């Protein structure tokens, strides 16, 4: 026999935002117009190992199933 427990959605109460914080102009930067230096570009890694790939696939499938169950209850 399966036991179904209700899923509780929690959303915090709304808060009033009276003023947006102003951003100092010194923190704003212009977009780079030059190509990045070759040293700053991350080098591609060899990839994930076999067990890591399997673990990632398992986690992906498990999370998708959980989301499917939650979506059907709404």
Per-residue confidence (pLDDT) for residue 72, from 0 to 100: 79
In our burial notation (b when 16+ CB lie closer than 10 A, e otherwise), range 14-53 reads eeeeeeeeeeeeeeeeeeeeeeeeeeeeeeeeeeeeeeee
Per-residue confidence (pLDDT) for residue 28, from 0 to 100: 65
Total length of the chain: 74
Evaluate if pTM is beyond 0.85. no
Per run of 10 residues, the mean pLDDT along the chain (length 74 residues) is 73 71 65 66 66 91 89 68
């Amino acid at each position: 026999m399966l036991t179904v427990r209700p899923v509780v959605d929690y959303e915090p109460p709304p808060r009033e935002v009276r003023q947006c914080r102003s951003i100092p102009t010194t923190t704003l930067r212009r977009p780079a117009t030059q190509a990045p230096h070759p040293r700053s570009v991350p080098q591609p890694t060899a990839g994930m190992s076999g067990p890591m790939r399997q673990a990632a696939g398992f986690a992906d499938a498990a999370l998708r199933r959980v989301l499917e169950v939650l979506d059907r209850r709404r």
